[in-house]
Structure formats: structure tokens, C-alpha cells
Amino acid sequence: MRELVERFREHLEAEKRASPHTVRAYLTNLEQLLTFARERRAREPSPGDLDIPLLRSYLASLFERNEAVTIARKLSSVRAFLRFLRRERVIEENLAMLVRPPKAKKALPSFLTPEQAAALVEAPLVKKRTGSSSLALRDAAILEVLYGCGLRVSECVGLDLGDLETGELRVRRGKGGKDRVVPLGRKARAALDAWLAVRAMLSPVGQAVFVNARGGRITTRSVRRFVDKHAIGGSVPDTHPHALRHSYATHLLGSGADLRSIQELLGHASIKTTARYAHVNLEYLVKEYANHPRAGGSLAPLKPKGRGR
């Protein structure tokens, strides 16, 4: 089994061109299943041990401490592994495809208002006097890129100097291993210029655009940590880096951009994923209308009058 898992890792990296984060997540989820199988079988499991009863028992064991979306993601990793084993003719059928994941609640993407997004993005420069000027400029540039370009956090920290152009930036090997070009707005460009002017002060050891205090490439975890810090400093409600990407899409839609264009900018494989922002935008408009002096504070559903009444 260990040899098969190693071959699966090579398959993900070389053939699927999956990101290191994706490979790590798949293997972690797979190891959890194998640990469960070892405990149930009291021995090292074989591919034939991964049958429907064991898979269902494994999923059932996850319910108490995992959300439905997390369980579905773990099952997806198992399906990918068994699909690989079937392709390699180790097993005859991918039995994980016969096991249904639990239904997850369809939560709408969380986003910030334009005012909240602006307060968060500007927070590092407001606080610049109390800390390192170079790190403040770096944080400001990262937040401008996340909000002004709609990048995923992993895509942002993965940028190299060669990916930057005057009016655009190139995202290499985004989600699904796809490249795309994203327009670089005036404020994001200015923030990047200010950061790049002082980047050398941190003695960078590679071509990463964004580096930490030791000169190495900054991590997604570090970005999440300083987003929390700047949200507090900017008096912004509790948020997370991905909310800036959601805000980028929602505000574009509210400004009149069409879903197909937003899909290309975000790098979504399916228009259905992008369409979620239409629901978010509608929900936001309904809340805003509730503040209208003629709205009466709430919106009641319209009831058509019956005939003869």
C-alpha cells in the first residue's frame, strides 16, 4: 500500500500538475482512511480492503467532528486514489463512486462592503508608524492584490517577479494547474511599486514577489494572520483573506460586469461557481433596500389578490 500511495503522489504531481497544497491535502485525507482501515482490520490494509462497508463506516466516523463539506472533500480524495488504482489495474472498480457524500449546505460567499474592503486594505499604511515600514508596505501590496485582482491567497504568495507587467500580472498554475492573466489596477500597481522599492531591505533569497522578514517566500498562513491583525486595526468585522476575493467579484458584478468576464478573471472552471455572486449581490441589494425610507424596515413577500375579493 505504501508503494501505491507513493505512486499516487507522483501521479498527482507529474500528470495532474496539482499544487503542493493539493497534493498534501489528498495524501493527508488518504492517510486518515488508511489509519481507520488499519484499526478496523488490525493489520496493514490492502486495496481490496477498501470496500463499501469500510468506506461507509469511515464516513460515519467523521460526522461528529467534521462538516458535510469537509467529509465530501475527504471522500473526493479517496475517489481520486481508487480511480488511480483502477487505471493501474490494481482494482477492478472504484467502489468509492458508489458511496454518496453527505449533502452540504449551500452557503453564499462572505464578502465585505466597499467601505470595509477599503478600510482593511488601507489599514497597514495607517499603522505604518508603529511597526516596520517595509513590512507595512508589503502587507498593503498583498491586500491590494487580493482585493484589486481577485487572486486566491495561494496564487498571491506564489507570484514571482517575472509574473508582473505594467498593467497586468500572470497567475501561473492556479487552481487546476491553469494559467491566466489578470488586469492590474492603478492602486494595486502603485502599492506593488512602493513595496518593490523596499523589498531588497529584507534580503530576498529568491524571485518571490512577497517575502517574509527573513527573505523567504511568505506563506498563506502568514497572510491569514496579518489579515486578522489589520482587520482589527481597520475596525473591520472578523474576516479572512478569501473574503477579499469574494468582495472583488461581488463589487465587479454590482458595477455592471457580466458573469462570463468575472469567471475569466477569477479562473473558475464552471460558470456555476461564479453565479453564486449573483445571489450574493441580490442579497446585498435587498439588505440595502431595507434601509430605504419607503421600505418600511423589512420586505414582505407580495401576495397576488384573488379574483372576486
Judge whether 230 counts as a catalytic residue: no
Judge whether 277 counts as a catalytic residue: yes
Q: Are 47 and 89 in contact (CB under 8 A)?
A: no
Judge whether 11 counts as a catalytic residue: no
- Bridge partners of 180, per DSSP, are 171
The distance from CA 130 to its chain's CA centroid, rounded to whole angstroms, is 31
Catalytic residue, chosen from 172, 187, 242, 276, is 242
Catalytic residue, chosen from 152, 199, 217, 251, is 152
Q: Are 71 and 55 in contact (CB under 8 A)?
A: no
Cell numbers placing 264? 475569466
Judge whether 289 counts as a catalytic residue: no
**Residues 6+ positions from 302 with CB-CB distance below 8 Å:** none
Q: Are 83 and 92 in contact (CB under 8 A)?
A: no
Cell numbers placing 171? 497567475
Judge whether 251 counts as a catalytic residue: no
- Angle between helix 68-87 and helix 52-62 axes, rounded to 10 deg: 150
Catalytic residue, chosen from 230, 245, 246, 251, is 245
Judge whether 175 counts as a catalytic residue: yes
Catalytic residue, chosen from 175, 180, 240, 276, is 175
What b/e sequence results for 230-255 when a residue is b if at least 16 CB atoms lie within 10 Å of its CB, and e otherwise? bbebbebeebebbbbbbbbbbbbbee
Q: Would you give the end-to-end CA distance of the chain in angstroms?
A: 74
Active site residues: 152, 175, 242, 245, 268, 277
